[in-house]
Amino acid sequence: MAGHSKWANIKHKKAAVDAKRGAAFTKVVKVIVVAVKKGGPDPGMNPSLRLAVEKARSVNMPKDNIERAIKKASGEDGSVTYEELTYEGYAQGGVALLVDALTDNKNRTTPEIRKIFEKGGGNMGEMGCVNWMFNTNGVITMPCMGKTEDELMEVALEAGADDISLDGDVAEITTGPDSMTEVIDALKAQGFDPSGDVAKIAENTVSVNLETAKKILRLMDNIEEHEDVQNVYSSMDLSAEVQEALEKEGF
């Protein structure tokens, strides 16, 4: 979980930069569109859309933009279709990478992602080559608000979570993917400020040294900057010493 937690922190910092560029808006709109296509335009009846709307709010997307995206997806304001794709491969050190993407042109996106893998010293593999290594979970993060780990554990389990771990003053809670929105609602009702996403977490991780970690993080960063990429997951595990060194170097 150390590598996952660290990458979640890195993604959080990067999200603020992306929001300034407008890249985050583009990516969130795609998530909203797919959620509406699957479960309808009512967030109250569509947990995936409710989560997508929360994600949009987290990057400060204006309410009008959110409503426009929902209307567009529901056919009230034109029509657009995105295909969900998963790319799999390896980075340096035998670390597995799993990439979630949404695209309206698979023939454009696939070779572009392959090229990023290759330029970063990785290899994009065939479908199924690493997917089996990852489990799908809901991952919720929230400030500890002065609570101890035992107190937070009691709160999280009562809300329906599976497990909890602390990283400084931030709690990371894991749930089943289908129960995440209910757990978020329960935590909010108790005064917490949780945010969550469905994530794919490696069942077995690979420890790497500092130099290898930097190469892998650069590759992951470059992949995630692609406009069609939603998430990048890895089986990399970062020790406390490597995490500290990365932070000192601005990663």
- What is the pTM assigned to this prediction? 0.78
Burial 161-187 (b: 16+ CB within 10 A, else e): beebbebeeebbbbbebebbbebbebb
Highest mean pLDDT among 113-122, 165-174, 235-244: 113-122
DSSP result, 8-33: HHHHHHHHHHHHHHTHHHHHHHHHHH
How many whole angstroms separate alpha carbon 155 and alpha carbon 183?
10
Please name each of the domains of the chain with its CATH number: 2-73 (1.10.10.200)
* CB 203 within 8 Å of CB 234: no
Is the torsion defined by CA of 70, 74, 76, 80 positive or negative?
Answer: positive
How does pLDDT run across 39-75, given as a tens digit for each residue? 888 888 888 888 888 888 877 888 988 888 888 888 7
Q: How far apart are the first and last CA of the chain?
A: 18
How does pLDDT run across 128-169, given as a tens digit for each residue? 999 999 999 988 888 888 888 888 888 888 888 898 888 788
**pLDDT band for position 78 (50/70/90)?**
low
Is it the case that residue 80 has pLDDT exceeding 70? no
Paired residues of 135 in beta bridges: 201
